Chains A and B, each alone.
Chain A
Amino acid sequence: MTTTTGRTEPRRAPATGRRVASKAGAGGYRIGYGHWWWAAPAVVLMLAMIYATTATGAFYAFTDWTGIGSFTWVGLKNFTTIFSTPELTGALVNTLLLAVGFLVLANVLGLLFALALNRTLKTRYILRTLLFMPVVLAPIAVSYVWKFIFAFDGPLNQTLGAIGLQGLQHDWLADPHLALAAILVVMVWQSIGFTMVIFLAGLATVPVELEEAAALDGAGHVMRFRKITVPLIQPSIAIATTLTLIQGLRIFDQVLALTGGGPANATQTLATEVYQQSFVFGSFGFGAALALLLSLLILVFTVAQQRLTRDRL
């Protein structure tokens, strides 16, 4: 390792332009890390594709733009229309129901599987691989499989009939009350592996010795779980709940594939309504208002959820 002749110091940062902060190393010379303009393409892309479009969308939420031609400013009229249309308030309620249900079920079931697979089971690696498999599939493909399962002459009803529970057979996707639950089942099914994997990573950081010590002191399973495991996997809980919450609020593919929003708009969510209003009916301004509402919802819930799962150690 020899220094190149003629250069006993690292090349200095250019005198013009923003200097990237450097750190004094041994010997007193400074190191520059990269060039500040390396971040430029990423920043430009992000500003152009995400912030500019989001801001523009937020603007159009207060207009009646149809995507082409001129538009007029209508202020809050779009929003008052939203809250006075049963179909749309219904979509809002559905979005909330699905998001909360998804959050709870996906995390609880994922945690249960993670606890089971955490130690000592002989088949745990195979099971982990198999249970994670649904996560990598396209939600729309998964939805088609479940559409078959929930069909009136499909496996679910047939199984119920075979074990003598004919009374419980329903046309799951055509019943306004049950269709939403069916969509929830599909969402949860696909994400159990996802939360399970996050919790497995968190559980792996819980030292065995702590649990053993607690057991020696007489703590039962539940007590050990509550007092040791849960506090120590708090970061995993925070991540898993955040991600499932955001995912749940944005639900789109499954609804479109399973019910198309029906029957009679009973399973519309905010995301599917945005699509329908903007791209099927051509009311871009109105669709933007719905999208703005959805964004606000996500923001509010995320902030609230971050507060609730904040590190309390």
Chain B
Amino acid sequence: MFRYTKKTLVLEIVTILGAIAMLMPFYFLVSTALKTGDQVLTTSTLSFPTSPTFENFATLLSPSSDTSASIFKGLLSSVVITAGTIVALVVVGSPAAYVFARSTSRWSTRTFYLFLVAILLPTQLGVVPLYVEARALGLVGTPWGMIVIYTGVLIPLSVFLYAGFFRRLPRDYEEAATVDGASRTAVFTRIVFPLMGPATGTVAILAGLIVWNDFFTALIFLNGSDYQTLPVVMYNYVGSLVSQWNLIFAVVIISMLPILIFYFFAQKRFIQGYAGGLKG
């Protein structure tokens, strides 16, 4: 019944055409980024440049231009903040989730529900008091502050994902290790956590993506500071570049490259993370 028939071929062609239509924006992105400023104004937007040039990238990234400094700083800032948040989420979230997953006391169930509800609460409501709180604590405009803030906001997600994985882990390993005299900490760090590779991967990808692409929170806490992340840098830069689409798209491509490279290497993980991790 599911042989490859002529009808399937038609379906395949139709789907491929649909996918091409979906991917058209990337064509415009790349073709425009490879044009010079004049070509953008004179040639049709649909056409690929006859002599594609990388000069836009050179303009933005060469050490002499003043934009390259902010772009590289933005890149560094994004990397530091994203990596720091992922580490914090794993270190703080996994032991917590472990305790929630294994414990059957009513307090732990209630506290866990608090985490679940927290995932739904939109950031907008708390963002103003958060800003005031962070300013009082000196966390505004610093990478450390951002890591603390992002970790705080994403910890329910981390706990939720880890707890889902821990629940499915059979207790035999822990029992065997405890019989052998391992302390609880050793049981966790040496046996349970290493088995959580997929969970850690899912948390790293989902949370990492959220932090890397975040614009709203970064705009509020980092705008104007020295530690702007890439989305904020791009926003400010594009604001000053009215209609110079070739430059704008070069910036966009630069901002997309780190994620895309990562994605193409680990796409199975990405897709699994989204589809599997969210099933809870």
Contact = CB atoms under 8 A, between A and B. Distances in A.
Nearest to B4: A120
B5 to A, nearest CB: 9
Given A39-B100, A132-B270, A144-B252, A67 B128 contact: yes
Nearest to B263: A136
A302 interface: yes
A127 B279 contact: no
A124 B59 CA distance: 39
Contact of B126 (A26, A54, A113, A120): A54
B4 A42 contact: no
B126 A50 contact: yes
Interface string A99-122: 000000000000001001101111
A212 to B, nearest CB: 5
Given A34-B99, A36-B99, A287-B128, A197 B275 contact: yes
Contact of B96 (A26, A39, A116): A39
Contacts of A132: 267, 270-271
Interface in B164-194: 171, 174-175, 178-181, 183-185, 187-188
B130 A53 contact: yes
Given A141-B234, A197-B271, A133 B260 contact: yes
Contacts of B174: 31, 33
B252 A46 contact: no
A38 B96 contact: yes
Given A42-B96, A140-B234, A194-B274, A113 B15 contact: yes
Nearest to B89: A42
A292 B252 contact: no
A46 B122 contact: no
A18 interface: yes
A11 B231 CA distance: 50
A243 interface: yes
Contact of A189 (B25, B96, B125, B234): B25
Given A46-B115, A121-B15, A140-B234, A21 B103 contact: yes
A167 B279 CA distance: 46
Given A121-B12, A215-B1, A138 B255 contact: yes
Nearest to B107: A18
A187 B111 CA distance: 34
A299 B133 CA distance: 25
Contacts of A302: 120
Contacts of B92: 41-42, 45
A43 B95 CA distance: 11
B270 A46 contact: no
Nearest to A33: B102
A265 interface: no
Interface residues of B, number: 102
Interface stretch (A78-86, A152-160, A173-181): A152-160
A39 B179 contact: no
A280 to B, nearest CB: 11
B58 interface: no
A89 B12 CA distance: 45
Contacts of A230: none
B196 interface: no
A218 to B, nearest CB: 13
Nearest to B276: A201
Contacts of A133: 23, 26, 260, 263
A224 B44 CA distance: 47
Contacts of A25: 175, 179
Nearest to B105: A21
Contact of B103 (A10, A20, A148): A20
Interface in B67-121: 92-93, 95-100, 102-105, 107-108, 111, 114-115, 118, 120-121
A235 B151 CA distance: 29
A262 interface: no
B184 A34 contact: yes
Nearest to B20: A130
A148 B249 contact: yes
A53 B18 CA distance: 45
A62 interface: no
B278 to A, nearest CB: 6
Nearest to B209: A136
A198 interface: yes
Contacts of A77: none
Given A145-B29, A291-B122, A140 B12 contact: no
Interface of B: 1-4, 8, 11-12, 14-16, 18-19, 22-26, 28-29, 32, 44-46, 92-93, 95-100, 102-105, 107-108, 111, 114-115, 118, 120-122, 124-130, 132-133, 148-149, 151-153, 155-156, 159, 171, 174-175, 178-181, 183-185, 187-188, 209, 212-213, 215-216, 220, 230-231, 234-235, 238, 245, 248-249, 252, 255-256, 259-260, 263-264, 267, 270-271, 274-276, 278-279
19 contacts: A3-B181, A20-B102, A33-B99, A36-B103, A40-B96, A42-B96, A49-B126, A52-B129, A53-B127, A57-B125, A120-B2, A127-B16, A132-B271, A138-B255, A140-B234, A141-B252, A149-B28, A252-B216, A253-B215
Given A140-B234, A153-B45, A198-B275, 6 more contacts: A33-B174, A50-B152, A144-B252, A201-B279, A239-B279, A256-B215
